[in-house]
């Protein structure tokens, strides 16, 4: 069995993390401000969300709470890329930056501090209160 599964770019790889499932890891060093990945998204509404919440996708979609989006409830997105398996941390080394383009919304994950080779890439989930109580967030 393969221990690491590399992306085509070979700058990141996916590996199982005990207690968390799959996670994204650095295969190269990233400096503060470096773009790690950029991915297209699909926005869905509250009706779709009620259905999605009953599937395994619950743990993989994003609530968008950036300043440019003022919807209440927040906008929700499926992110098509490795960003979708970046695990949560209360002390993250990366963050999600949203951009809107003619082709739709895009999510980018950017280093907020230097990240070493073999280090797990993490970000702080913005919608923890929306998860069922049986999901535990561990460091």
pLDDT tens track for 80-111: 889 988 988 889 999 999 898 998 889 999 99
Establish if 139 belongs to a structural domain.
Answer: no
d(CA 91, CA 89): 5
Q: Is 3 helix (H, G, I), strand (E, B) or coil?
A: coil
Establish if 52 belongs to a structural domain.
Answer: yes
Establish if 137 belongs to a structural domain.
Answer: no
Establish if 131 belongs to a structural domain.
Answer: no
d(CA 64, CA 73): 10
Residue with the larger pLDDT of the pair 9 and 23? 23
d(CA 92, CA 129): 18
CATH number at residue 13: 2.170.270.10
Establish if 132 belongs to a structural domain.
Answer: no
Number of domains in the chain: 1
Establish if 118 belongs to a structural domain.
Answer: yes
pLDDT tens track for 108-126: 999 999 999 999 999 987 6
| pTM score, whole prediction | 0.78
Residue 87: domain span? 5-125
pLDDT tens track for 45-62: 767 667 766 766 656 666
Establish if 69 belongs to a structural domain.
Answer: yes
Q: Is 55 helix (H, G, I), strand (E, B) or coil?
A: coil
* CA distance to 21, 30, 50, 69, per residue, from 55 (Å): 17, 34, 10, 26
């Amino acid at each position: 069995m393969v221990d690491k599964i590399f992306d085509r770019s070979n700058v990141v790889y996916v590996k199982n993390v005990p207690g968390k499932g799959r996670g994204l890891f650095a295969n190269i060093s990233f400096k503060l401000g470096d773009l790690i990945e950029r991915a297209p998204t699909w926005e869905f509404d509250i009706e779709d969300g009620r259905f999605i919440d009953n599937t395994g996708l619950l743990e993989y979609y994003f609530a968008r709470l950036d300043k440019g989006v003022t919807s209440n409830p927040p906008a929700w997105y499926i992110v098509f890329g490795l960003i979708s398996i970046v695990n949560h941390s209360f002390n993250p080394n990366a963050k999600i930056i949203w951009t809107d383009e003619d082709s739709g919304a895009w999510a980018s994950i950017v280093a907020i501090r230097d990240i070493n080779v073999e280090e797990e890439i993490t970000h702080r989930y913005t919608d923890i209160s929306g998860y069922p109580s049986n999901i535990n967030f561990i460091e």
